[in-house]
Structure 1
């Protein structure tokens, strides 16, 4: 950081795609920008980024390195570390506290801390997450096309997931696991698409030579599968935002909690003036290219907001000398009148 007491126009908390995109837009607008990056991107387990036009198939770490270089090239500063809290200052700015106790101030905050994928409690899922344990067909479907795919039913979205993934493979099995509320219509849809339903609780995975080979049921039966699809709970990384009084909003389907997010307007402005959000912390279903777009929109909106504030200050400063000059002239006129009156009385 250049200067312990320096106040930036914007501090960006989170150095993923959304944060770097926002930082790039702001730096190109000639704003002073600091990005605080904890270095824990959600897509780190994935081998490649997909559906990102012009960057299809780029490894996540490479995409972030490109983004850092681009933002830094326009003057944005990027530091490693975790922001743990923030407070609003009396003048309308913010103070951000890092895990090491150091602080930095900013006129505006952009929080792009993403979310945490909370996986079902099944042995082996976490170890294979992002490899053969997947959740998004648009992110990974092409890469596992025509393979033996299993769907773990943990939410009301299970049947929809199975029907969706059927687009990429004819060999799809739905593990009912702990759910028993499929309707007759859903069973008919599954049968029509050739999707088998397996009863019984899933307790673990079989892995051979660092590859998933089967899904193990409570009774010991193993169903051969090469891919297992799960529905994580998407929980926003909202600690910094909560320290400013922003409460996460629950996203539910029926009686099932899908996840939490921070509500914001289409440009990312939150209920706290001066605080914007972008990416998965505000939109649980956002893909990488969408997160980049959200960061751009937030950065543009923040610059416009700062322009309005800068203009207001400039107008006030311009008026101040005129007001002082007017007051001086009035004083001189009054004093002149008084002197003239005294001369007449003499």
Structure 2
């Protein structure tokens, strides 16, 4: 079967894109490897109508709603190869199947690479986070830490006092300049220059001297990389983001490769369910328009 659009990635952005196309009665295939970026979190926040819900449940309900449309097919597989083929694209999956589509939407996401500190990975999504809007409120105004992993940590450190008293662990990664120090002081941020050696308990930071600072939660800045090889295989251009490259798209969410669109965390330098859903909706509509108007 020749699909109108193949969507690689069946998380929030991919499902949202598919819904627009399904409602236009287009033939859609979603190929999904089942690795949501927020699978480590128990609750999702800041998404209108779903605040506080389990993120897996949100995704499952969205998938069921999408599959209620008869023109949509879903494949639980990893897409491992993509290439232009005539006026469209050919995709191969890890189990050897091949599919063709007139348009391609990459909702392939990113992989987070966390600082290598004992105890941090185990608390990712539970007491260690990257998005204050997603998880800051639930810390109930308790003490918050910011673990510097890149210079953009200053942004975290200046934001988080709105959610609780904040300690900024520089950890040898970053040293604020005079203006930044003044801004941190104005925001009431405590600076800690002693190296961090472990995270224990709820979110307790152990320093090199053995001193322990108990926290309600800790925020850091993971490096990100593409979760899929497909954008590079297709020759898509990338743009540098604050923590890693993301796929370059135009105002209509089309990549540098004509007929290939991208949405969600792979194409937006922000990790948030609401943003991913909105971006997917825009992208699905743009891909549909491209089938009609050119």
Task: State whether TM-score is above 0.5.
Answer: yes
C-alpha displacement at 1:84, in angstroms?
A: 1.0
Which residue number in structure 2 is paired with residue 27 of structure 1? 22
Deviates more, 1:185-194 or 1:149-158: 185-194
| Corresponding position: 1:82 with 2:82 | no
Which residue number in structure 2 is paired with residue 135 of structure 1? 130
Q: Which has the higher helix share?
A: 1
* Structure 1 segments unaligned to the other structure (5+ residues): 1-5, 253-257, 310-346
Cα offsets for 1:109-158 (capped at 9, x unmatched): 11101111111111111110001001111011111131121111222222
1:219 aligned to which of 204, 209, 234: 209
Task: Work out whether residues 238 and 281 of structure 1, in 8 Å CA contact, stay in contact via their aligned partners in 2.
Answer: no
Task: Work out whether residues 234 and 284 of structure 1, in 8 Å CA contact, stay in contact via their aligned partners in 2.
Answer: no
| Corresponding position: 1:198 with 2:205 | no
| Corresponding position: 1:289 with 2:285 | no
Cα offsets for 1:147-200 (capped at 9, x unmatched): 12111122222232122110011x211112013521222223323333211122
C-alpha displacement at 1:39, in angstroms?
A: 0.4
Task: Work out whether residues 267 and 294 of structure 1, in 8 Å CA contact, stay in contact via their aligned partners in 2.
Answer: no
TM-score (norm 1): 0.81
Partner of 2:90: helix, strand, or coil? strand
C-alpha displacement at 1:238, in angstroms?
A: 4.2
| Corresponding position: 1:231 with 2:221 | yes
Runs of 4+ in 1 over 4 A off after TM superposition: none
Which residue number in structure 2 is paired with residue 46 of structure 1? 41
C-alpha displacement at 1:87, in angstroms?
A: 0.8
Q: Which has the higher contact order (CA 8 A, sep 6+)?
A: 2
Which residue number in structure 1 is paired with residue 95 of structure 2? 100
Partner of 1:166: helix, strand, or coil? helix
Q: How many pairs were matched up?
A: 293
Q: Distance in 1 between matches of 2:182 and 2:279?
A: 39
Cα offsets for 1:265-316 (capped at 9, x unmatched): 122101111110011100021521121111111111111111235xxxxxxx
Task: Work out whether residues 103 and 287 of structure 2, in 8 Å CA contact, stay in contact via their aligned partners in 1.
Answer: yes
Q: Distance in 1 between matches of 2:284 and 2:152?
A: 34
Partner of 2:231: helix, strand, or coil? helix
Which residue number in structure 2 is paired with residue 123 of structure 1? 118
Task: Work out whether residues 150 and 174 of structure 2, in 8 Å CA contact, stay in contact via their aligned partners in 1.
Answer: no
Task: Work out whether residues 109 and 275 of structure 1, in 8 Å CA contact, stay in contact via their aligned partners in 2.
Answer: yes
Partner of 2:182: helix, strand, or coil? helix
1:67 aligned to which of 51, 62, 86: 62
Q: Distance in 1 between matches of 2:122 and 2:176?
A: 29
Partner of 1:243: helix, strand, or coil? helix
Root-mean-square deviation over aligned CA pairs: 1.5
| Corresponding position: 1:274 with 2:269 | no
2:141 aligned to which of 146, 171, 178: 146
Which residue number in structure 2 is paired with residue 3 of structure 1? none
